[in-house]
Amino acid sequence: MNELVPGGNTVLPDGALVIRVPGPFDVSVLITGDEGKVAGDGDFVFFNQPSAPGARLRGDTVTVRPERLRPGASRVTVVVSPADPGTPLGRLPAPSMSVTREGGAPVARFTPPRPARETVLLLAELYRRGAQWKLRALGQGYADGLAGVARDFGVDVVDDAGAAPDADAAGRPSTARGGVAAAGPAGAPGPAPRHPAGTAAAAAPPDGFVGAVNSARLRFGCPPVALDRRLAAAAQAHAEAMAGDGRLGTASRGGTSVHHRIAAGGYACLGIAEHLVSGPRTPADLVDYLLADERRSGPFRDRAFVHVGVGRAVNGGSGDVFWTALWAEPFTAAGLARTASEVIALTNAQRAAARLAPLAPDPRLTVAAQAHSDDMVGRDFYSHTSPDGHQPWDRAAAAGCAHRGIGENIACGQRTPAEVVEGWMNSPGHRANILKPDFTHIGIGYAVGGASGTYWTQLFGASAGRARR
């Protein structure tokens, strides 16, 4: 195996490359051309947007298939940041990157000098020279967070002070994504930062969690939630997986997400939120921690949630306590119809502001859009192109749509209609579809599950012309 030094490079073999950076880090990659800028926000692969053509992130490992990268891509930059946002890299072990072939054969290793105050490190880049791909060790530090790196590479990141926050105070994007890009969910709890360990002398089981939660909900004027055994089983399994991995994450190192566990347990969700936390020793400590921050406390104040599940596990080596808390609104057909109607109403409000005619609901477009959201969850992919090669206009035609022009927006990770429409409006490509004068009809699809939790589809129809996306 080649041991690289900063600035060193090596020729890469053909085929898939497996890049792993173990430890208390988040790994991400940026896919660019020779100019060093992304072609769209879909070129940023990170914990909330784990795949792009030719690149897939699972836990601490990125698999890159250079031959499958988007047209024009000639560089893949590997980025690491602390799993605990705001922690300087100087307080952590130096990140060590290994590169292997897909079968495990070693290719290269790089351990940069230990950073100081930097919070993000450009670790290495894969780049194309002629017909060959090479690897260059970098070790370049940033002090303004992952969002700063993303902006420098041309990713559309909305500031916290804007209408649709997508980064926390440490500059760590929480971007839920759309087909091109989308602003992050403003209120979804997502993975919480590591919380300092509590001072309780002994760990306690999570039995008192529901009572503490309902006491808080009573203060907020919200009805109580009930413990659901299916959610509790999924939460416990995920807490144990995080404890075994020794890190927080919506997915375990094997790629199983907390949402996969919920679906496998047979719980059908309309709405879902999760807290992933390490540190608190008791249920009371956990609830106190969640209530101390407005973003984290959102589920306590959400009247839609009626069920909860909680799991707790301890890492055998470090003794760290890992928690998973799941909040859910059960699926109903009426709830799905209400969610779709809210998306249409918000979409038409944007069109009205632009002095455009409203879009009329179309049942055939709705069937096609819902089928695509269900398919993305069922087959665990995220793309306008389905695994069997079908495009939006193919799906519309199969549903019996007579529209000559078809457009599609997709998104995943957003938890409410307001969040997803706001995200689409903050992305030029999606905004263009929403505000396209030629479109006259719309269908909405929404499903919960998969790697990202929620999958949204807007399918537009035009009475004349062609408007494909």
Over pLDDT 90: what percentage of the chain? Answer: 59
Strand partners, 402: none
Mean pLDDT of 162-171: 33
Rg (CA), the chain: 22
C-alpha–C-alpha distance, residues 467 and 453, integer Å: 29
* Number of neighbouring beta carbons within 10 Å of residue 378: 14
Residue 1: pLDDT band with limits 50, 70, 90: low
Mean pLDDT of 102-111: 90
The 3-class secondary structure across the chain, one letter per residue, is: CEEECCCCEEECCCCCEEEECCCCEEEEEEEECCCCCCCCHHHEEECCECEECCEEEECCEEEECHHHCCCCCCEEEEEEEECCCCCCHHHCCCCCEEEEECCCCEEEEECCCCCCCCCEEEEEEEEEECCEEEEEEEEEEECCHHHHHHHHCCCCCCCCCCCCCCECCCCCECCCEECCCCCCCCCCCCECCCCCCCCCCCCCCHHHHHHHHHHHHHHCCCCCCEECHHHHHHHHHHHHHHHHHCCCCCECCCCCEHHHHHHHCCCCEEEEEEEEEECCCCHHHHHHHHHCCCCCCHHHHCCCCCEEEEEEEECCCCCCEEEEEEEEEECCHHHHHHHHHHHHHHHHHHHHHCCCCCCEECHHHHHHHHHHHHHHHHCCCCCCCCCCCCCHHHHHHHCCCCCCEEEEEEEECCCCHHHHHHHHHCCHHHHHHHCCCCEEEEEEEEEEECCCEEEEEEEEEECCCCCCC
The residue type found at 245 is D
Backbone torsions φ then ψ of 180, nearest 5 degrees: -110, -55
Residue 194: pLDDT band with limits 50, 70, 90: very low
pLDDT score of 439 more than 80: yes
Residue 258: pLDDT band with limits 50, 70, 90: very high
Q: Give residue 49's pLDDT.
A: 83
Residue 350: pLDDT band with limits 50, 70, 90: very high
Tokens of 366: 């709705």
Residue 73: pLDDT band with limits 50, 70, 90: very high
pLDDT digits (tens, 9 = 90+) for 373-416: 999 999 989 999 999 899 999 999 999 998 888 999 999 989 89
Residue 86: pLDDT band with limits 50, 70, 90: low
Q: Give residue 184's pLDDT.
A: 27
pLDDT score of 189 more than 60: no
Q: Give residue 101's pLDDT.
A: 93
pLDDT score of 230 more than 60: yes
pLDDT digits (tens, 9 = 90+) for 12-31: 999 999 999 998 888 999 99
Q: Give residue 2's pLDDT.
A: 80
Q: Give residue 446's pLDDT.
A: 96
Q: What is the pTM of this model?
A: 0.57
Strand partners, 459: 408, 443
C-alpha–C-alpha distance, residues 66 and 128, integer Å: 9
Q: Give residue 228's pLDDT.
A: 93
Q: Give residue 404's pLDDT.
A: 80
Backbone torsions φ then ψ of 290, nearest 5 degrees: -65, -35
pLDDT score of 354 more than 50: yes
Q: Output 104 or 176, whichever has higher pLDDT.
A: 104
- Average the pLDDT over each of 21-25, 202-206, 256-260, 349-353 and give the range with the smallest value: 202-206
For strands 307-314 and 360-361, give the pairing: unpaired
Q: Give residue 299's pLDDT.
A: 96
Contact 306, 226 (CB under 8 A): yes
C-alpha–C-alpha distance, residues 151 and 143, integer Å: 13
Contact 324, 258 (CB under 8 A): yes
Q: Which of 18-27, 203-212, 355-364 shows the highest mean pLDDT? A: 355-364
Mean pLDDT of 218-227: 94
Q: Output 189 or 461, whichever has higher pLDDT.
A: 461
Q: Give residue 143's pLDDT.
A: 63
Strand partners, 142: 120
Buried b / exposed e across 420-437, counting CB within 10 Å, b at 16+?
bbbbbbbbebbbebbebe
Q: Give residue 6's pLDDT.
A: 80
pLDDT digits (tens, 9 = 90+) for 35-66: 788 888 788 998 778 899 999 999 889 999 99
pLDDT score of 196 more than 50: no
* Number of neighbouring beta carbons within 10 Å of residue 333: 8
Q: Give residue 262's pLDDT.
A: 93
Mean pLDDT of 244-271: 90
Residue 225: pLDDT band with limits 50, 70, 90: very high
The mean predicted confidence, pLDDT, of the chain is: 84
Tokens of 68: 């499958």
pLDDT score of 119 more than 90: no
Residue 157: pLDDT band with limits 50, 70, 90: low
Q: Output 112 or 47, whichever has higher pLDDT.
A: 112
Residue 206: pLDDT band with limits 50, 70, 90: low
